[in-house]
Amino acid sequence: MVIIMETGAAPEDISAVTDAITLEGLTPFENPGVERKVIAVLGVIDAQKIRLMDKFQNMPGVERVTLISDPYKLPSRQCHPKDSTFEVCGVPIGGPLLTIIAGPCSIESKEQALETAHAVKAAGATLLRGGAFKPRSSPYAFQGLGEEGLRILAECREATGLPIVTEVVDPHDVGIVCQYADVLQIGARNMQNYRLLQRVGQSRTPVLLKRGMGVRIREMLMAAEYIMVEGNHQVILCERGIITFEDSTRFTTDINAIPVLKHLSHLPVVLDPSHATGSARYVGPVAKAGIAAGADGLIMEVHPQPGEALSDGPQSLKPEAFAQLMGELRRVAAAVDRVCPPDQPAR
Amino acid sequence: MVIIMETGAAPEDISAVTDAITLEGLTPFENPGVERKVIAVLGVIDAQKIRLMDKFQNMPGVERVTLISDPYKLPSRQCHPKDSTFEVCGVPIGGPLLTIIAGPCSIESKEQALETAHAVKAAGATLLRGGAFKPRSSPYAFQGLGEEGLRILAECREATGLPIVTEVVDPHDVGIVCQYADVLQIGARNMQNYRLLQRVGQSRTPVLLKRGMGVRIREMLMAAEYIMVEGNHQVILCERGIITFEDSTRFTTDINAIPVLKHLSHLPVVLDPSHATGSARYVGPVAKAGIAAGADGLIMEVHPQPGEALSDGPQSLKPEAFAQLMGELRRVAAAVDRVCPPDQPAR
Amino acid sequence: MVIIMETGAAPEDISAVTDAITLEGLTPFENPGVERKVIAVLGVIDAQKIRLMDKFQNMPGVERVTLISDPYKLPSRQCHPKDSTFEVCGVPIGGPLLTIIAGPCSIESKEQALETAHAVKAAGATLLRGGAFKPRSSPYAFQGLGEEGLRILAECREATGLPIVTEVVDPHDVGIVCQYADVLQIGARNMQNYRLLQRVGQSRTPVLLKRGMGVRIREMLMAAEYIMVEGNHQVILCERGIITFEDSTRFTTDINAIPVLKHLSHLPVVLDPSHATGSARYVGPVAKAGIAAGADGLIMEVHPQPGEALSDGPQSLKPEAFAQLMGELRRVAAAVDRVCPPDQPAR
Amino acid sequence: MVIIMETGAAPEDISAVTDAITLEGLTPFENPGVERKVIAVLGVIDAQKIRLMDKFQNMPGVERVTLISDPYKLPSRQCHPKDSTFEVCGVPIGGPLLTIIAGPCSIESKEQALETAHAVKAAGATLLRGGAFKPRSSPYAFQGLGEEGLRILAECREATGLPIVTEVVDPHDVGIVCQYADVLQIGARNMQNYRLLQRVGQSRTPVLLKRGMGVRIREMLMAAEYIMVEGNHQVILCERGIITFEDSTRFTTDINAIPVLKHLSHLPVVLDPSHATGSARYVGPVAKAGIAAGADGLIMEVHPQPGEALSDGPQSLKPEAFAQLMGELRRVAAAVDRVCPPDQPAR
């Protein structure tokens, strides 16, 4: 941590800052700047970083405080240099085999869910996604089937063997959702719902953490820290598009985030090209871009009749389009020394 | 609602769309476009808008669907042309008298809270703010005193007569927070936590709804709709800065949002210059700008020793600076035919 | 300048950096960091800052380079602590009297220009704006009358006594535009057209520098530096809205930029509420906000028949609306100890 | 074009709008809306779109005007359904063979330029990039060698056979730059310098048009229209990153822009991963993403000693790293049925 004093800060302001550092059990180290004084803070500060930054930032005469290393710890590569990998019901997450999560935005009925589950499995998906609790921007939009949706998901797992990824939106639902889900999804709009993060951190079910649309990468890693500090280290990071001035797509896929997250963190990283573009037309090219950029997997929306979907129809692929895309992804994956799971035609 | 077909859409795609409109009990109206066909949807669609938009948007041959009027209803001026006003423990919200909410970011101790409460009351504040449950971006930062903080807030109300504004972060805390609070605050990071919005909507305690940092005005009004549709119409909208590329301040105050919200909605609108700038140095000018732009009030952070604050110190005003700013605000308020509450020197 | 080495940077990388600093005639100063080495660069570096930052940033083992003070110099308060003020044909810029620049977006005809000029003068404007060379986003939109427009502007000055502000878009037009204009305007889309900045810097005509819609405040001050380093110190900074995700207004007025620019720079700062909102409906509230926030003036679009304007009609005020707004601005200005110029009813 | 009237617009406002449409030689077509009147404008409006939109948008009673089709014409797929391809000195642009443009940010000396040119040619690049006129955000940064730089570029072409891509920053330099360059580059900061666009449009030298960092895709296509309407149809569109709130990379690569531009336009599209990330570490993954997403080529910065580069060192690849990346790109290109040019080891 480096504290930059204002030009012409009073000597008593400077000594107040160095005293405060010493009181914290740390060592101040003054740099003889020409224009202004800079004070380095030496010592192990780790989890205290944010508190200390807050503290020093508002002492008289302080211009600003700069962190030398990152404010998060558990998701960082410094803490765990090698890629994290784990398994969900036998499906590996984070190694050479890509994680392909597919399914409808919402579970609408048993028929729709089963049809989609069989189709995505046949095309090679290794996990099934589907929403039972849906956070929708309009109170009049379809809000999901709730626990009935979870039961249908469990039947789909029974029928196909695919582990289930589903969203949890309320800290008090974590228990019930864990009874059905193999991976808990934290949606973009809840990425800074810290109470929810803590509760999923206290569970032992792996978590798929979607990036908020107005959230920096560093803050996303702080959200992962919230989960991990509670003891749950099986976290998958998911880029799903950020909000920018560009309006030709629903969000802007931050493709840079893929190599940046892989550089800063040891956690597996997946891309959601369906939400990141908002349009089935662009899902394929952006999915391929994600794999080429080094993502460990993809999460995509598939619906048998996108025109009848109760949510997110415009960005859902038909099963045939998904199967064709999987074929294309296999070629791109091979070109970057990864393996996209093979298709599993029903016998 | 207007449905724009692709150039060269097939006649069967067009008739499929008009059939779907008719099936919904609405009337299709075809425009004989030169380049492409445009179909207007006639009839009362109101709460169905989002569902229908989703539906038509993914029928074959459809280029895009445009809404002619807004997707929200209860917060809109069309629904309620005159300004909404209401009272919180006798304090008017939304009329000529500005609502001035002030207090510390977090309740840290009884002494700190009482000292601040007395100071802001003396300077003219009409409500006391203070956080008991704090959503912090780091799990290692101070998370608030919880229910103990609520009790301290109640003591401050007892001592000063100021009604209390405090944040609720978990749907299951709404009951307990309502026992102490006069206004429930929904924080920016929870603005799209729909479960929480529904629960505060089911209470009869007024709500201060802060805009999410990556959320459009239209989506903020949809969040207000979530609360209002449950029966709670006492909602205060709060602009608190949005996330942009500019990095010289913590957020970018969207000052345009003040007149835009006043134009689109009948709900009272307040500005939070503390979070919107992140720096005590800029709170004054931006507070004055908010009043000049037509805001119905302000919410500001005040702390007796900003340098010792456990959160948000850099953007907190000292009591003396707050009192001076209140004097300046009275002059600006008068210049736009509003009244900023007078100071109340302790006898 | 502070150079932050990577965790575990090799000793030879560190000594290469300290050697490079010494070779530049500066003094390296190593901080004994616990996690990673930080090297301060001591000495007077001023104009070399950007070059040195570029240089050190890509030496092996360097994580990043942080500037302790700003990369611009001439527009900064450190260089010139007091507010800059100057006169344009006797009209003071930057003192207690606000600078009110008004007129049509484009000069369309002598009649339109003269009518507007008389109207804005009567309402109290102190300078006349009007475009002769128009940079339009479509090649099919009206591009301005060119030199004919400049001649009309000169006639308007003759008739009203108002000095003229007009845009220059090509470095090779600076000479001809200077023959007519009293203030040269650099438009938002040309704010980083450095060749143009240099040429207007070589002239002795004051410059109104509009902020680019995707440009940070710091880069705007670098653009001012480009002009000032050529010898022209009469620069007016203009906030005109930035591009963000919010789409209910054409741009987002960065109201924070007003106090930030006043804090960082001694140059006069004006606000353009017409472009910053894109809608006549919101010009008034945002104009008042600008004055309340400490702007030294405003630039606004006025057109006798906005419905017939060849450009920017939707954001243009009618003369009567402008006159009424000026009355309101006088009250707000007085409330912040500034003076908005009085009206000058024609005799 | 569709004109949406305000709720409760007066009958005389509605007839004024329909009269105005008729006066323009077009046909108004009223939709019997329940809440508000919508008027479609029928007829061929093409190049008049922007003017008409401006006009109708500010008539009394008009809420807003919506374009049904895009405001640009010449770059659109509707105008030219098949992909445009052309040749630069025998090098194909826009077909199955990817266009790989590489070289230093700035031409610094004959030695540096020649060394880089030979290296990128050996690795497979098909065009050489290099700046002679450099638009830099600081007036104290290296501004390029000017015409001397152009002469060095010509020598490099002589020595390697690689056609030359170089930036032009002033409309009056177009003539001289055309004497040396095979492709004229318009930089991001000049993308809305319309005078410059017109001049390069009047030349017959192909143009590489970089997207401005704060510019929407639609406005970028309008900039292409500016060039094409002057008669020069050999335009290459270049995505180079946009400005957003994310600060872990210099810009945010808008990877969605690749398939969006390919969908909307017939022009060849390339990606600049060097500027879009600002860091050599991320150039490789993002370059591969660009090819996987369907880009027709890449433009990348290569420098023999990035640590000594006078500009953009941190994002420049060393020749060896570039050669290795080219090998990886060949595999990704093949996976999407494109060909990345083979290496050309010097004999």
Q: How confident is the model at residue A35 (pLDDT cuts 50, 70, 90)?
A: low
Distances, alpha carbon B144 to alpha carbons B106, B130, B139, B150, B251, in Å: 6, 10, 12, 10, 23
SS3 label, residue C117: helix
Residue B282 buriedness (CB in 10 A; 0-12 / 13-18 / 19+):
buried
pLDDT in tens, C308-337: 777 777 889 999 999 999 999 999 999 999
Query: Span B11-18, mean pLDDT?
Result: 85
Confidence band for D7, pLDDT divided at 50, 70 and 90: confident
**Per-residue CA distances from B157 to B117, B183, B311, B344 (Å):** 8, 13, 22, 15
Which helix (H) or strand (E) segment holds residue B228: the answer is helix B217-228
Nearest Cα neighbor of B71 from B262, B263, B220 is: B220
Q: How far apart are CA B149 and CA B166, in angstroms?
A: 10
Q: Which two tokens stand for residue A77?
A: 């590569």
Does the pLDDT at position A39 exceed 90? no
pLDDT value at A10 more than 70:
yes
Burial D48-85 (b: 16+ CB within 10 A, else e): bbbbbbbbbbbbebbbebeebbbbbbbbbbbeeeeebe
Q: Which of A21-30, A52-61, C279-288 has the lowest mean pLDDT?
A: A52-61
- Pairing outcome for strands C269-271 and C297-301: parallel
Residues B308, A55: C-beta atoms closer than 8 Å: yes
Q: Is the pLDDT of residue C110 over 70?
A: yes
At D249-270, the pLDDT tens digits run: 999 999 999 999 999 999 999 9
CATH of region D2-66: 3.30.70.260
Angle between helices B49-57 and B11-23 (to 10 degrees): 160
Residue range A86-335, CATH number: 3.20.20.70
Chain A residues inside the 8 Å CB shell of B72: 138
CB D289 to CB A293 under 8 A? yes
Q: Worst-scoring range by mean pLDDT, B45-54, B212-221, B251-260, C152-161?
A: B45-54
Q: Are B130 and B153 in contact (CB under 8 A)?
A: yes
Tens of pLDDT along D73-108? 899 988 889 999 999 999 999 999 999 999 999 999
Bridging pattern class, strands A38-42 and A2-5? antiparallel
Q: What does each C-alpha distance from A285 to A280, A315, A340, D260 come to in angstroms?
A: 10, 13, 16, 10
* Residue D185, H or E segment: strand D183-186
| Rounded Cα distance, B124 and A213, in Å | 38
Contact with chain B for residue C292, Cβ under 8 A: yes
Tell whether C179 is within 8 A of chain A (Cβ): no
Is there a contact between A289 and D285 if contact means CB atoms under 8 Å apart? Answer: no
Pick C4's closest partner by Cβ from A4, A33, A68: A68
What is the rounded average pLDDT for all residues in chain B?
91
HEC letters along C83-112: CCCEEECCEEECCCECEEEEECCECCCHHH
**Cβ-defined contact of A286 to D259 (cutoff 8 Å):** yes
> Most distant CA pair in chain B: distance in Å?
81
- In this prediction, residue D16 carries a pLDDT of 84
- Length of chain D in residues, anyone? 347
What secondary structure does DSSP assign to B244-306, as a single string? -S--SSSSB-BTTHHHHHHHHB-S-EEE-HHHHH--HHHHHHHHHHHHHTT-SEEEEEB-S-G
Confidence (pLDDT) at C34 = 61
Containing H/E element for B321? helix B319-335
Q: Is A346 on the interface with C (CB under 8 A)?
A: no
Looking at the predicted structure, is the pLDDT value of residue B87 above 70?
Answer: yes
Strand partners, D41: D28
List, as ranges, residues 11-30 from B with C-beta within 8 Å of A: none
Instruction: Summarize the confidence of residues C263-279 as an average pLDDT.
Output: 96
| Interface-testing mutation among B46, B65, B68, B72, with chain D (most D C-beta atoms within 10 A) | B68
Residue A324 pLDDT greater than 80, yes or no: yes
Please report the number of interchain residue pairs, chain A to chain C, with beta-carbon separation below 8 angstroms.
57
Residue C113 pLDDT grade (very low, low, confident, very high; cuts 50, 70, 90): very high
Report CA-CA distances (Å) from D170 to C170, C185, C199, C222.
8, 18, 11, 20
Q: How many CB atoms lie within 10 A of CB A90?
A: 8
Residue A7 has pLDDT above 80, yes or no: no
A-chain CB neighbours of D217 within 8 Å are 246, 248
CA distance A271 to B323: 50
**How does residue D19 score in pLDDT terms, banded at 50, 70 and 90?**
confident
Pick from C43, C68, C214: CB nearest A4: C68
Alpha-helical regions (H) of D249-318 = 257-264, 273-277, 280-292
* Least confident interval from A259-268, B77-86, D281-290: B77-86
Q: Which of residues 324-343 of C touch B (CB under 8 A)?
A: 328, 331-332, 334-336
Domain ranges of chain D: 2-66, 86-335
Q: Classify strands B62-66 and C2-5 as parallel, antiparallel or unpaired.
A: unpaired
A22-27 long-range contacts, CB within 8 A, separation 24+ = A24/A48, A24/A52
Q: Which residues of A touch C248 (CB under 8 A)?
A: none
The arithmetic mean of pLDDT across residues D147-165, rounded, is 97
The answer on pLDDT for A147 being more than 80 is yes
Give the residue carrying structure tokens 């209401």: B86
CA distance B156 to chain A (A): 25
- D186-214: pLDDT as tens digits: 999 999 999 999 999 999 999 999 999 99
Looking at residue A83, what is its pLDDT?
96
ipTM: 0.91
- pLDDT confidence band for C42 (50 / 70 / 90): confident
Chains that touch B (3 or more CB pairs under 8 A): A, C, D
Whole-angstrom distance, CA of residue D329 vs CA of residue D318: 16
Residues 153-172 of A with CB under 8 A from B: 169-172
Q: Do A169 and B55 touch (CB under 8 A)?
A: no
For the record, the structure tokens of B13 come out as 């795609």
Q: Is C33 within 8 Å of chain A by CB?
A: yes
Do residues D144 and D160 touch, judged by C-beta distance below 8 A? Answer: no
Which positions 75-114 of C are in contact with D (Cβ < 8 Å)? none
Task: Write out chain A residues lying below 8 Å of B144, CB-based.
Answer: none
Across residues D276-294, what is the average pLDDT?
97
Q: Are strands A269-271 and A297-301 parallel, antiparallel or unpaired?
A: parallel
CB contact under 8 A, B31 and D29: yes
The pLDDT tens digits of the residues spanning B241-276 come to: 999 999 999 999 999 999 999 999 999 999 999 999
Q: Please list, in sequence order, all residues whose beta carbon lies within 8 angstroms of the beta carbon of residue A210, skipping any fewer than 6 positions away.
A: A185, A186, A187, A188, A191, A238, A240, A272
**Per-position DSSP letters for C225-248, written without gaps between them:** HHHHTTT---EEEEE--B--S--S
What are the helix (H) ranges across chain D? Answer: 11-23, 49-57, 110-123, 147-160, 174-180, 194-202, 217-228, 257-264, 273-277, 280-292, 319-335
Candidates C140, C119, C84, C138; CA nearest to C130 is: C119
In chain D, whose CA is at the least distance from the CA of B7?
D78
Chosen from B46, B142, B193, B245 to mutate, greatest number of chain A CBs within 10 A: B193
3-state helix, strand, coil in chain A (%, to 5): 40, 20, 40
Q: How far is C176 from chain B (nearest CA, A)?
A: 36
How confident is residue D164, by pLDDT bands cut at 50, 70 and 90? very high
Query: What DSSP string runs through C148-191?
Result: HHHHHHHHHHHHH---EEEE--SGGGHHHHHHH-SEEEEPGGGT
Question: Could you give the dihedral angle defined by the CA atoms of residues B145, B148, B152 and B154, in that order, rounded to the nearest 10 degrees?
Answer: 120
Q: Do the Cβ atoms of A68 and C36 come within 8 Å? A: yes
